[in-house]
Chains A and B, each alone.
Chain A
Amino acid sequence: MRVTVKLFATFRNGRFKVEERELPEGTQCRQVVADLSLTDDEIGIIMINGRHGMLDQELQPGDVLSLFPLVGGG
C-alpha cells in the first residue's frame, strides 16, 4: 500500500520533508519510525490524516502520516 510520510522540525535534518512510501499491508507507525532511524522516545506527536495517532496504530492505504518531535510555542 502507498502511504505519505511527512516529517517536521528536526526530523527533517538529513531526511526529507515529504515522501511516498510503499509499505506492506498492516504496517504500524512504529515500523515507519524505526525505518527512519528514529526512536519511540523521540516522537512527540503522531498525526494520521490530521488526527492524533499512536505508535501501534496500523496504517491504511492512502494514509498521510505526520511525525513531529515534541515542540511547542504559542
Chain B
Amino acid sequence: MERSARADDARLLHIYQGARSSMDKIFRVNMTDLSTKIEAVPADWAGLGGRGLTSTIVAAEVPPTCHPLSAQNILCFAPGLLTGTPAANSGRLSAGAKSPLTGGIKESNAGGTAAQMLAKLGVKAMIIEGAPKDGTWYNLSVGVNGVTINEEKELLGLGNFAVIDAVEARLGKKTGVLTIGPAGELKMTAANISVKDPDSKIRSHGRGGLGAVMGSKQIKFISIDGEGAPGVKIADPEKFKTAARAFSKALLEHPVSGEGLPTYGTNVLVNILNEAGGLPTKNFSMGQFEAHDKISGETMNEVIASRSGKVKHGCHAGCIIQCSQVYNDKDGKYITSGFEYETIWGLGADCCIDNLDDIARADNLMDDIGIDSIETAVMFGVAMEAGILNWGDSKEMLRMLREEIGKGTALGRILGGGAASVGRTYGVTRVPVVKNQGIPAYDPRSVKGIGITYATSTMGADHTSGYTIATNILNVGGYVDPLKKEGQVELSRNLQIATAAVDSTGMCIFVAFPALDIPECLPALIDMINARFGIALTGDDVTNLGKHILKLERKFNTEAGFTNVHDRLPDFFKNEPVAPHNAVWDFTDAEIDAFWDF
C-alpha cells in the first residue's frame, strides 16, 4: 500500500516536471526585512495549482507547531491549474496558511478577479512570509515586474468596500484587490480576506481566519495591476478548444448547474433541507425551521425579481453557472450580492431570524467588516443560546456586527473569534464546531455522510471539502440514504479525494454536479489540463493527486498536534436526538477512523 502510494507520487512528479513552464514565477515577499523576490518555480511544484500548491507550500515552509499569527507562518495565494485560460468556471483563487481558527492547515478558495489576473501575470503563487517588527502597516502592489511593498496609513480601520473604492481611485478601475477589514486588522480568528469581484463588490476567502494572518503581517490590502500581463500560454490550443467546448456543454446540460443554480442560487437548499429534517435550527437543537418559506430560495427569487435586482450573477469572468445574484431593498437600492445558502441558513434558521432583508444587510456588513459569514452565523446561534442576544433579534444582531465586532470592542473580539470562542467564554455546551471551526448548514445526525466530512476534513468542519449532500439529499452521483450509516464513509472519502483535486484546478466546486452525472465532463476537464500543459494525466493520476493532497494536509495537522480524537463531532450530536427523524450521530470511533484507510 505504502509502496504503491510512493510510486503514484513519483509518477505524478514525473508528469509535472514535463509541465514546467518557463513563464510562471513565484513572487515572494518578506515582511520582516521588507524585501521581495521573483523565483523560478521549483520542479516539483510545476504541475500543481490552487489548493494542491498552497498546501504543498504551507507544508514545506511553515513549522506545524508555530503560532499562526507569528512571523513563522506564511500566507500564500495560488490560482488554479486552469485559471487564466478560457475554460469555463476556472477563476478561483486558493489562499493557504496555518489557520489561527483551527490550528491546522488551511486552504480557502474564492472567486473574484484576482485569480485570473495573477495567472495571466504568470504568478504561479505569491508567498508572504515574516512580519514587520514595528507597528507600521503596508500595502502590496503586484504587477508584471513583481511586488512592491508600500507603507499604508490612509486606509487603516476602513471597511472593505471603502478600501476597494479608494484603491480604484488611486490605481484605476481595473485594479484587482485583496483586502482585509477591521476584523482582519484586529486579528479576529473569524476574519476573512475579501476579493474584489467584477462589479467591484466582494467575494471571500471565508473560512479559517486567513484575514487574521494577513493582519498579522500588517498588510491592509494587495493591489494587482494586470497591465502588460503575458497571458496564459496553452500548449495544444486545438485540443484545449475541443475539451473546453465539451466541458461547457456538460455544465449547461446538467439540471443543477444549467438551471437550478442560475435560477434560485444556492439558497434553493433551505426548503429541501427543511423537508429532509436536516436544516439545523435554533443552534442545532431542531432539524426544521417554522419560517423556512420566508427565507427560502423560491421566496428570494420572487423578491429579487420584484425589486429589479439580478437573479443571475457570476463571481468571476467566464462563470457560466451564475449562481450568484444582486439583492435590493424594497426601494430597489443595492443591499448585497453573493448571498449564499449558508449565510441565509445560519442567520435565518439557526438564529430563528425570518427577515430576509435583515439577513441581507448582515451579509453586506460581514463583507465590509471582513468576517466569515458561516463562522459568524454559527457564532450568533451560540451567542443566542448564551443569552447575549435574543433568538430572532435581527436588529440586535446587526448592531453587534456594526458596533461590537466592527469596532473591536471587548465583546466584539469574543464574537469575532467565532462559535467556539463564544461557547467557551459563556459556558455553552451545545457548540457546533469541529477542530474549532463552525459546522455549516446540514445537520450531521440527519445527513450522516456530511458528518463524516465534518469530522475528518483536514480543514475543520467544512461542507465543501466533501459535499455528500449531492448524493445524500440531491440524488446527484447516485443515492446514499442520509439517515443510515452504510456507505457514508466511502462516499465522503471519494468526494474529499475528488474535491482536493478539483480545488487544484481553479474550478468552482459546482462543476462537481455535472462531473458526478455526465460521463464526458471529467475527461473533458482532464483533457483541458493536459492541453494547457502538454502533459498526459489520466483519471487515476487525478485521483492520486487528490489522495496525495489529503495525506500531505493530514501530515501537517498531525505534526501540529492533531490526533484521531480531533476527528470527532461534538458530543451533543450523540446525546440529543434531532426532530423530526429523532436521529443521533451513531458512528463509532473506529468507523470514523476508517476514513483514512486509503
B256 touches which of A12, A47, A70 (Cβ 8 Å): A70
Contacts of A74 in B (CB 8 A): 266, 269, 341, 463-464, 467, 469-470, 509-510
B272 touches which of A8, A17, A51 (Cβ 8 Å): A8
Minimum distance in angstroms from A41 CB to a CB of chain B: 10
Contacts of B479 in A (CB 8 A): 52
Alpha-carbon distance between A6 and B275 when the two chains are bound, in angstroms: 10
A68:B272 contact, CB within 8 angstroms: yes
Alpha-carbon distance between A73 and B463 when the two chains are bound, in angstroms: 11
Contacts of B272 in A (CB 8 A): 8, 45, 68, 71
Interface residues of B in 276-310 (CB under 8 A from A): 276-277, 293, 297-298
With A9-B268, A47-B275 as contacts: A70 and B483 at CB distance below 8 Å: no
B323:A73 contact, CB within 8 angstroms: yes
B474:A70 contact, CB within 8 angstroms: yes
Alpha-carbon distance between A66 and B297 when the two chains are bound, in angstroms: 16
Contacts of B255 in A (CB 8 A): 44, 69-71
B580 at the interface (CB under 8 A from A): yes
Interface residues of A in 43-66 (CB under 8 A from B): 44-45, 47, 50-52, 66
A71 touches which of B268, B509, B580 (Cβ 8 Å): B268
B261:A72 contact, CB within 8 angstroms: yes
Interface residues of B in 457-513 (CB under 8 A from A): 463-464, 467, 469-470, 473-476, 479, 481-483, 509-510, 513
A10 at the interface (CB under 8 A from B): yes
Interface residues of B in 151-197 (CB under 8 A from A): none
A8:B266 contact, CB within 8 angstroms: no
For B, the interface residue count at a CB cutoff of 8 angstroms equals 40
Q: A51: nearest residue on chain B (CB-CB)?
A: B483
Contacts of B266 in A (CB 8 A): 73-74
A72:B513 contact, CB within 8 angstroms: yes
A50:B269 contact, CB within 8 angstroms: no
Alpha-carbon distance between A66 and B298 when the two chains are bound, in angstroms: 15
Alpha-carbon distance between A27 and B474 when the two chains are bound, in angstroms: 25
B581:A73 contact, CB within 8 angstroms: no
A72 touches which of B256, B275, B463 (Cβ 8 Å): B256
Contacts of A44 in B (CB 8 A): 255, 474-475
Alpha-carbon distance between A47 and B277 when the two chains are bound, in angstroms: 11
B260 at the interface (CB under 8 A from A): yes
Q: B278: nearest residue on chain A (CB-CB)?
A: A50
B328 at the interface (CB under 8 A from A): no
Alpha-carbon distance between A51 and B509 when the two chains are bound, in angstroms: 27
Q: Which of A9, A12, A69, A73 has the most CB of B within 10 A?
A: A73
Q: Which of A6, A47, A66, A71 has the most CB of B within 10 A?
A: A71
> What's the dominant secondary structure at chain B's contact region?
helix
B263 touches which of A9, A45, A66 (Cβ 8 Å): A9
A8 touches which of B271, B467, B475, B580 (Cβ 8 Å): B271
B475:A45 contact, CB within 8 angstroms: yes
Alpha-carbon distance between A6 and B272 when the two chains are bound, in angstroms: 11
Minimum distance in angstroms from A4 CB to a CB of chain B: 12
B267 at the interface (CB under 8 A from A): yes
Minimum distance in angstroms from B439 CB to a CB of chain A: 14
B265 at the interface (CB under 8 A from A): yes
Interface residues of B in 218-242 (CB under 8 A from A): none
Contacts of A12 in B (CB 8 A): 298
Contacts of A71 in B (CB 8 A): 255-256, 259-261, 264, 268, 272, 474
Alpha-carbon distance between A72 and B508 when the two chains are bound, in angstroms: 14
Minimum distance in angstroms from A15 CB to a CB of chain B: 12
B474:A72 contact, CB within 8 angstroms: yes
Alpha-carbon distance between A69 and B474 when the two chains are bound, in angstroms: 10
Q: B467: nearest residue on chain A (CB-CB)?
A: A74
Alpha-carbon distance between A73 and B271 when the two chains are bound, in angstroms: 12
Alpha-carbon distance between A69 and B475 when the two chains are bound, in angstroms: 10
Minimum distance in angstroms from A66 CB to a CB of chain B: 5
A69:B469 contact, CB within 8 angstroms: no
With A71-B474, A74-B464 as contacts: A50 and B263 at CB distance below 8 Å: no
B276:A73 contact, CB within 8 angstroms: no
Alpha-carbon distance between A21 and B520 when the two chains are bound, in angstroms: 42
B276 touches which of A6, A47, A72 (Cβ 8 Å): A47
B269:A73 contact, CB within 8 angstroms: yes
Contacts of B474 in A (CB 8 A): 44-45, 70-72
Q: Which of B268, B293, B464, B470 has the most CB of A within 10 A?
A: B268
A8:B298 contact, CB within 8 angstroms: yes
Minimum distance in angstroms from B267 CB to a CB of chain A: 7
Q: B266: nearest residue on chain A (CB-CB)?
A: A73
Alpha-carbon distance between A73 and B580 when the two chains are bound, in angstroms: 23
Contacts of A10 in B (CB 8 A): 259, 263
A73:B475 contact, CB within 8 angstroms: no
9 A-B pairs with least C-beta separation = A73-B266, A71-B260, A72-B256, A70-B255, A73-B269, A72-B474, A71-B268, A50-B277, A66-B275
Write 22 A-B pairs (CB below 8 A) sorted by A numbering: A9-B264, A9-B268, A12-B298, A44-B255, A44-B474, A44-B475, A50-B276, A69-B255, A70-B260, A71-B260, A71-B261, A71-B268, A72-B256, A72-B261, A72-B469, A72-B474, A72-B510, A72-B513, A73-B264, A73-B268, A73-B341, A74-B464
Q: Could you list 16 further interchain pairs (A-B, Cβ under 8 angstroms) beyond the known A10-B263, A66-B275?
A: A8-B271, A44-B475, A45-B475, A50-B276, A50-B580, A52-B479, A71-B256, A71-B259, A71-B268, A71-B272, A72-B260, A72-B510, A73-B266, A73-B341, A74-B266, A74-B464
